[in-house]
Amino acid sequence: MRIAILLSAGRHAVSGRPAPVSVELQAIRLARELIRQMAGEVDGNAAGDITGFHAGPDAGPLKDALGHGLPRLIQLSIGAQDDPLPSLAAALGAERFDLVLAGRSGQGGEDAGLLPYALARTLGLPIVADACALAAGPQHGTVSLEQALPRGARRRLTLRLPALVTVHPAAPAPLPFAFAAMRRGMLETREGVPAPRAAGEVEERAYRARPKLIAKSAAGASATERLKAATEAASSGGRLIVDPAPEDAARAILAHLRQIGVLRD
């Protein structure tokens, strides 16, 4: 089992200092526990390997991820303004990874979290978002994962590998930092693929926590109704179809996309 983990150059929400991103550290833990589970009682690294990938100009602050249980980190050296996607796609494409893990979004704020999707498309991998638990699947070459849905709901999926999975903050907390593990961990620097992004002014702003959205229907309504809207599963007007025929499912999805205006004829 070979697992790759994508790491981004995060910053601490208050101090603004370089800091690893929690959800990516949680991905390291999921990967380690998956490998340990597959190997039984054998030492973690015997049954597989975990490699971290970071495309960026400086891997220094990411060394701390090595202290959270990542044995090896590869930095793909690119310019600060370069797009990391080609570098990551080239590096991941060159080696065969069974599973690629990424955070659902880097900092968890206003991040787009698009990179995993773009990468999955480039590599031609299926992508599953928001995993909060990973386990060996029923057959060889599969993993069983729990997907975190809004309001604490969980959905169990079986996924055929290779695949790309993004990790949700509801996954178990990161492994505690071990200074000596960071010291032992391997950091390798490779040349990345220079990919200058289209010039455009990028505005940098201090991080702020994303405000909690209140369901629109309840805005301005009575306190009871707002409470109800905040605590009960909101009906988004969708339809639950259990075990449908693929054609029916596709038709339902298309109908829904048309209804909400994503697809236009």
109 binds another protein per the rule CB under 8 A: no
Number of residues that bind another protein (CB under 8 A): 20
Task: Pick one of 27, 32, 64, 131: the residue that binds another protein (CB under 8 A).
Answer: 64
Distance CA 18, CA 62 (A): 8
**Nearer Cβ to another protein, position 11 or 226?**
11
Task: Kindly state the smallest distance separating residue 24's Cβ from another protein, in Å.
Answer: 14
Beta-carbon contacts of residue 254 (< 8 Å; ≥ 6 apart) = 263
Task: Pick one of 40, 41, 153, 179: the residue that binds another protein (CB under 8 A).
Answer: 179
206 binds another protein per the rule CB under 8 A: no
Distance CA 53, CA 101 (A): 10
Distance CA 74, CA 54 (A): 6
Tell me the window of 14-22, 114-122, 136-144, 242-250 that interacts with another protein (CB under 8 A).
14-22
**Spatial contact of 95 and 2, defined as CB atoms under 8 Å apart:** yes
180 binds another protein per the rule CB under 8 A: yes
Residue among 147, 110, 106 at smallest CA distance from 130: 147
205 binds another protein per the rule CB under 8 A: no
**Nearer Cβ to another protein, position 22 or 105?**
22
Task: Pick one of 48, 52, 67, 192: the residue that binds another protein (CB under 8 A).
Answer: 67
Beta-carbon contacts of residue 152 (< 8 Å; ≥ 6 apart) = none
Find residue 101's DSSP bridge partners: 5, 165
Distance CA 203, CA 212 (A): 23
Tell me the window of 13-21, 115-123, 193-201, 228-236 that interacts with another protein (CB under 8 A).
13-21
Contact residues for another protein, defined by CB under 8 A: 12-15, 17-19, 64, 67-69, 173-181
